[in-house]
């Protein structure tokens, strides 16, 4: 226990930068554990279902002239569940339909419920997924007016009261009665839900889909054994062709396959890219934190060598010295765990918002190995590496000054830390710019000051609403459309002259005032004036190869889908509207004049936020039976880009932590260097050197390391940023000039720290340093 006593004395007296080490380890441990836990959490998507290897999901993609699309579509057709179950009775145990396309507003006692997620499912849902049903009978899910609720949400809404028999309102259109309670669904699922509604309610709203129409359904199969996945995939294409034609012309075929549900999340390229970058961030800050600890330990070697010599004179061998440093590291790691725990407890809400996950979901019995493994790795690397160096100090150091400064060690450690700081800084630059670009890029209309709200149910419910809103003094103008302009429109297949499928046409209805009120840009022709006339986006014209002959052409779509008797006639071409945001390629769009509109686009006067509150208050009091609530298009854009914002904030926090850690290591390095070279500095001053010469000498010494390291870090950041930007359509990397400017800023920060820390000794009377020798 003597080693523990000596270690405590060393730590309490602050030898070796105890406080700086504690801060460094705490920040590195907290951020490293959080990021590693988040990665493990996302890698375990949908593994909570019983026997996840046999729970599979149907998917499809288009193959054009033998070349398949890169990504699959997991929204398929309603009859697939029953038809494929009939085709593979020896492989499929059960099948069910699900859909989360419609997320209706849920009301309890006329109060809208927030943070509630809905899934529509049929009666075979519990049998197929294996999700535990705590109360109720699965067959009750076949009735439109019934609902099942999760245990957590039931406790949140009703406390200890039994939720069975309670009613909720769906969009103020119809009520549902809670008939069952099921086990909670973790957040790491591609189909998270707190409320299960009947598939009959989905059919009531969207109609019952058929093969080739309304690919809104997630079709799940429970196979009899895991090996049946490959067997079914080898035969599924022919099976589907028994029920529908998979050919979309001569050159395009729809290809079907299945994939275990737990692999679906990882099959998305954006998910894989995100996990890789999170891993790089976690490794960077953890590794920099550990190296900073080692750097601080090595930097104090000239001051602690004599203490090691004394211990060796008293009989201590190399193992005893190593164990002392292991005790020191262990105590600091324990202290950093306690500090990290307190930090997470105090900032729990902010951390959960940052990661988009609950801490209780990240740290469970199954994932406990993540923090334990991280702590163990930290202890081994941070304890053994400097401990072995100190254990090799000869016993003769008790009689003389230790002059081996391990300069190559310290410069190497500092070099790696500078790389990490530059890398994270460059990644931060990319994410900040990208989010700013997404929020400010033109979406095809003037979204600033424009609010939108939709009336659900029978379209007659929308009668008179526009006129009532128009009369309000804070409203500048109002216009109607079939849906929000930043949403998935109705779609119809565009085909070429040979009947080959080209792409879906996204179309929506509008009234006469909509283009001017929303601020669309007319490129050619004129605005529609009569029912059945339309304007199309620039990309639609280019895709159909209409050139300068677009005006007067008829849109090649089924007119009944647009509630028309004849195909719409094109009267104008407009700038493309990014209805699907910037994560997808630009869609082909069309806006058709028709009076059957249920969505209202309201141009508000300033101040927009205050007037939006007035508008919603007016709607609630005037139309209490409507689930109509307005939001600005800017708010919708923020919601669409929420994942980018969260990632940007994660990089912000990581960057702040890593810069603090690196600067503390740099301060320790400079402190040790100035102390070790104090006699040299004093002699230089005696020989005529000024304070500026001394500061320049020390700065250049650091810059020899920093310039190359920062350049390497920025190059790595530029490459990783390119991978990150691949998820955004029509996006480009920042100019290399910005990364160069950031690199110069980091180098200036490094020099500023060196100057501030060395200022005292550079201006000190050289006699003081020489006398101390």
User: Do residues 238 and 133 both lie within one domain?
Assistant: yes
What is the reported pLDDT for 170? 92
Binning pLDDT at 50, 70 and 90, where does residue 218 land?
Answer: very high
Q: List C-alpha distances in Å: 618 to 32, 69, 321, 475, 711.
A: 49, 48, 76, 12, 58
Instruction: Provide the strand spans (E) within 36-186.
Output: 55-64, 67-68, 92-99, 106-108, 111-112, 118-121, 133-135, 146-150, 167-170, 174-182
CB 546 within 8 A of CB 599: no
Three-state DSSP class for 178? Answer: strand
Which of 133-142, 318-327, 599-608, 705-714 shows the lowest per-residue confidence on average (mean pLDDT)? 318-327
User: Do residues 347 and 393 both lie within one domain?
Assistant: yes
- 324 or 21, which is more confident: 21
Q: Helices 691-725 & 678-686, crossing angle to 10 degrees?
A: 130
Long-range residue pairs from 752-755, CB within 8 A, at least 24 positions apart, any chain: 753/663, 753/666, 753/667, 753/670, 754/666, 754/670, 754/695, 754/698, 754/699, 754/702, 755/695, 755/699
CB 598 within 8 A of CB 484: no
Three-state DSSP class for 246? Answer: coil
User: Is 208 part of a structural domain of the chain?
Assistant: yes
Checking DSSP bridges between strand 146-150 and strand 522-525, what pairing results, if any?
A: unpaired
Highest mean pLDDT among 121-135, 305-319, 368-382, 559-573 belongs to 121-135
Residue 319 confidence (pLDDT) above 90: no
CB 489 within 8 A of CB 561: no
- Which residue, of 226, 243, 260, is where some domain finishes? 243
Percent of the chain topping pLDDT 70: 90
Alpha carbon 406 to its chain centroid, in Å, reads 42
Count of domains forming the chain: 4
- 333 or 525, which is more confident: 525
Binning pLDDT at 50, 70 and 90, where does residue 350 land?
Answer: confident
CB 258 within 8 A of CB 233: yes
User: Do residues 99 and 170 both lie within one domain?
Assistant: yes
CB 531 within 8 A of CB 463: no
Other beta carbons within 10 angstroms of residue 765's beta carbon come to 10
Query: Which residue is associated with the tokens 């190559």?
Result: 408
Binning pLDDT at 50, 70 and 90, where does residue 302 land?
Answer: low
Beta-carbon contacts of residue 458 (< 8 Å; ≥ 6 apart): none
Give mean pLDDT, residues 80-104: 93
Beta-carbon contacts of residue 569 (< 8 Å; ≥ 6 apart): 532, 533, 534, 552, 553, 554, 555
Give mean pLDDT, residues 569-591: 91
User: Is 225 part of a structural domain of the chain?
Assistant: yes
- 476 or 596, which is more confident: 476
What is the reported pLDDT for 668? 78
Query: Which residue is associated with the tokens 């001051």?
Result: 303
Give mean pLDDT, residues 611-616: 95
Highest mean pLDDT among 305-309, 318-322, 474-478, 649-653 belongs to 474-478
User: Do residues 10 and 131 both lie within one domain?
Assistant: no
b/e map of 473-499 (b: 16 or more CB within 10 Å)? ebbeebbbbbbbbbbebbbbbbbbeee
Residue 402 confidence (pLDDT) above 50: no
State yes or no: cis peptide before 607, omega within 30 of 0: yes
What is the reported pLDDT for 538? 94
User: Do residues 656 and 757 both lie within one domain?
Assistant: yes
User: Is 251 part of a structural domain of the chain?
Assistant: no
Give mean pLDDT, residues 437-450: 91
- Which residue, of 627, 656, 679, is where some domain finishes? 627
Kindly report the backbone phi and psi dihedral angles of residue 97, in degrees, each rounded to the nearest multiple of 5, phi listed first.
-105, 140
Three-state DSSP class for 511? Answer: coil
Give mean pLDDT, residues 419-440: 90
Q: What share of the chain is helix, strand, coil (3-state, %, to 5)?
A: 50, 15, 30
Which of 186-195, 434-443, 763-772 shows the lowest per-residue confidence on average (mean pLDDT)? 763-772
Residue 299 confidence (pLDDT) above 70: no
User: Do residues 428 and 551 both lie within one domain?
Assistant: no
- 309 or 455, which is more confident: 455
In angstroms, the CA 617 to CA 448 distance is: 21
What is the reported pLDDT for 770? 62
Angle, CA 128 vertex, CA 127 and CA 130 arms, to 5°: 65
User: Do residues 148 and 238 both lie within one domain?
Assistant: yes
Structure confidence by residue, pLDDT tens digits, 2-32: 555 555 555 555 555 677 788 888 888 898 8
Residues paired with 574 in a beta bridge: 522, 537
CA terminus-to-terminus distance, the chain: 36
**Which runs of consecutive H residues, i.e. helices, occur in 493-641?**
514-518, 538-544, 608-622, 633-640
What is the reported pLDDT for 403? 47
Is the pTM of the predicted complex or chain greater than 0.85?
A: no
What is the reported pLDDT for 677? 74
Per the structure block, which two tokens stand in for 689? 């050197």
In angstroms, the CA 103 to CA 100 distance is: 7
In angstroms, the CA 594 to CA 596 distance is: 6
Residue 769 confidence (pLDDT) above 70: no
User: Is 60 part of a structural domain of the chain?
Assistant: no
Which of 255-259, 621-625, 640-644 shows the lowest per-residue confidence on average (mean pLDDT)? 640-644
In angstroms, the CA 42 to CA 189 distance is: 9
In angstroms, the CA 137 to CA 123 distance is: 9
What is the reported pLDDT for 605? 94
Which of 48-52, 156-160, 278-282 shows the lowest per-residue confidence on average (mean pLDDT)? 278-282
Checking DSSP bridges between strand 569-574 and strand 533-537, what pairing results, if any?
A: parallel
User: Is 636 part of a structural domain of the chain?
Assistant: no
User: Do residues 487 and 612 both lie within one domain?
Assistant: yes
- 37 or 316, which is more confident: 37
Query: Which residue is associated with the tokens 């330990």?
Result: 297
- 252 or 562, which is more confident: 252
User: Do residues 382 and 335 both lie within one domain?
Assistant: yes
Q: Helices 407-440 & 633-640, crossing angle to 10 degrees?
A: 140
Dihedral angle of Cα 573, 575, 580, 582, to the nearest 10 degrees:
150
In angstroms, the CA 119 to CA 102 distance is: 8
Which of 339-353, 675-689, 723-737 shows the lowest per-residue confidence on average (mean pLDDT)? 675-689
DSSP of 365-390: STTTHHHHHHHHHHHHHHHHHHHHHH
Residues paired with 373 in a beta bridge: none
What's the half-sphere exposure (Cβ side, CA atoms, 13 Å) at 259?
Answer: 17
Which of 38-42, 408-412, 554-558, 756-760 shows the lowest per-residue confidence on average (mean pLDDT)? 408-412
User: Is 255 part of a structural domain of the chain?
Assistant: no
Instruction: Provide the strand spans (E) within 710-766.
Output: none
In angstroms, the CA 752 to CA 253 distance is: 63
Binning pLDDT at 50, 70 and 90, where does residue 148 land?
Answer: very high
Least Cα distance to 449 among 247, 608, 670 occurs for: 608
Residues paired with 258 in a beta bridge: 58
Checking DSSP bridges between strand 501-510 and strand 533-537, what pairing results, if any?
A: unpaired
Beta-carbon contacts of residue 145 (< 8 Å; ≥ 6 apart): 174, 175, 176, 177, 198
User: Do residues 306 and 229 both lie within one domain?
Assistant: no
Per the structure block, which two tokens stand in for 737? 């000039």
User: Do residues 477 and 612 both lie within one domain?
Assistant: yes
What is the reported pLDDT for 610? 95
User: Do residues 280 and 238 both lie within one domain?
Assistant: no
Q: Which domain holds residue 578?
A: 456-627
Q: List C-alpha distances in Å: 191 to 49, 52, 98, 101, 145.
A: 12, 14, 9, 11, 22
The chain-wide mean pLDDT, for the chain, equals 86
User: Is 748 part of a structural domain of the chain?
Assistant: yes
User: Is 442 part of a structural domain of the chain?
Assistant: no
Structure confidence by residue, pLDDT tens digits, 193-211: 999 999 999 988 888 888 8
Which of 342-346, 486-490, 595-599, 767-771 shows the lowest per-residue confidence on average (mean pLDDT)? 767-771
């Amino acid at each position: 226990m003597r080693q523990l006593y000596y270690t405590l004395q060393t730590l309490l007296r602050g030898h070796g930068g105890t406080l700086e080490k504690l801060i460094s380890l705490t920040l590195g441990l907290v951020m490293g554990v959080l990021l590693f836990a988040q990665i493990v959490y996302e890698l375990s998507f949908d593994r909570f279902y019983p026997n996840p290897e046999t729970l599979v999901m149907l998917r499809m993609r288009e193959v054009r002239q033998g070349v398949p699309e890169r990504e699959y579509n997991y929204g398929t057709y309603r009859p697939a569940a029953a038809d494929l179950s009939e085709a593979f009775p020896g492989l499929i145990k059960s099948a069910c339909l699900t859909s989360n396309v419609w997320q209706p507003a849920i009301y309890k006692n006329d109060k809208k419920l927030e943070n509630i997620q809905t899934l529509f499912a049929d009666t075979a849902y519990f049998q197929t997924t294996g999700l535990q049903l705590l109360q109720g009978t699965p067959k009750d899910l076949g009735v439109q007016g019934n609902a099942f609720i999760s245990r957590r949400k039931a406790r949140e809404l009703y406390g200890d009261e039994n939720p069975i028999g309670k009613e909720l309102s769906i969009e103020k259109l119809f009520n549902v009665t809670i008939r069952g309670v099921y086990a909670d669904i973790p957040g790491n699922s591609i189909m998270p839900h707190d409320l299960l509604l009947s598939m009959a309610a989905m059919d009531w709203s969207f109609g019952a889909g058929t093969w080739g129409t309304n690919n809104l359904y997630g079709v799940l199969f429970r196979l009899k054994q895991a090996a049946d996945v490959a067997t079914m995939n080898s035969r599924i294409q022919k099976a589907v062709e028994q029920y529908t034609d998979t050919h979309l012309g001569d050159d395009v075929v729809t290809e079907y396959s299945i994939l275990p549900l737990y692999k679906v999340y990882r099959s998305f390229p954006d998910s894989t890219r995100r996990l890789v970058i999170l891993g790089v961030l976690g490794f960077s800050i953890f590794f920099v934190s550990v190296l900073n600890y080692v750097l601080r330990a090595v930097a104090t070697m000239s001051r602690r060598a004599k203490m090691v010599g004394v211990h060796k004179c008293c009989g201590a061998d190399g193992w005893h010295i190593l164990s002392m440093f292991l005790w020191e590291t262990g105590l600091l790691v324990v202290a950093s765990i306690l500090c990290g725990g307190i930090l997470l407890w105090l900032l729990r809400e902010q951390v959960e918002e940052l990661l988009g996950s609950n801490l209780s979901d990240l740290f469970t019995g199954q994932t406990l190995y993540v923090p334990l493994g991280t702590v163990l790795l930290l202890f081994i690397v941070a304890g053994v590496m400097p401990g072995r160096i100190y254990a090799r100090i000869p016993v003769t150091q008790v009689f003389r000054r230790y002059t081996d400064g391990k300069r190559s060690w310290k410069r190497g450690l500092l070099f790696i830390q500078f790389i990490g700081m530059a890398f994270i800084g460059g990644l931060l630059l990319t994410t900040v710019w990208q989010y700013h670009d997404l929020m400010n890029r033109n979406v095809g209309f003037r979204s600033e000051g424009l609010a939108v709200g939709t009336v659900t149910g029978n379209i007659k419910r929308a009668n008179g609403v526009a006129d009532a809103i128009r009369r309000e003094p804070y409203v500048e103008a109002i216009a109607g459309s079939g849906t929000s302009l930043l949403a998935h429109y109705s779609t119809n297949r565009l085909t070429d002259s040979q009947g080959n499928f080209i792409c879906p046409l996204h179309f929506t209805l509008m009234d006469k005032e909509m283009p001017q009120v929303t601020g669309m840009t007319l490129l050619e022709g004129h605005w529609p004036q009569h029912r059945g006339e339309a304007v199309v986006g620039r990309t639609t014209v280019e895709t159909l190869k209409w050139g300068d002959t677009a005006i007067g052409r008829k849109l090649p779509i089924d007119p009944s889908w647009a509630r028309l008797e004849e195909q719409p006639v094109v009267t104008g071409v407009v700038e493309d509207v990014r209805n699907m945001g910037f994560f997808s390629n630009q869609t082909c769009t069309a806006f058709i004049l028709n009076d059957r509109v249920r969505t209202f686009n309201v141009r508000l006067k300033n101040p927009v936020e205050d007037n939006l509150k007035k508008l919603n208050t007016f709607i609630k009091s005037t139309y209490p039976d409507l689930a109509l609530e307005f939001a600005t298009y800017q708010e919708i854009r923020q919601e669409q880009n929420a994942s980018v914002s969260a990632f940007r904030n994660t990089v912000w926090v990581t960057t702040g932590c890593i810069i603090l850690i690196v600067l503390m290591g740099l301060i320790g390095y400079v402190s040790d260097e100035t102390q070790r070279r104090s006699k040299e500095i004093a002699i230089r001053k005696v020989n005529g050197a000024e304070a500026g010469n001394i500061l320049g000498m020390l700065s250049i010494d650091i810059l020899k390391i920093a310039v190359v390291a920062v350049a390497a870090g920025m190059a790595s950041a530029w490459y990783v940023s390119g991978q990150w930007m691949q998820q955004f359509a029509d996006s480009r990397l920042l100019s290399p000039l910005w990364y160069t400017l950031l690199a110069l800023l980091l180098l200036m920060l490094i020099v500023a720290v060196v100057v501030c820390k060395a200022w005292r000794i550079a201006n000190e009377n050289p006699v003081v340093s020489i006398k101390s020798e």
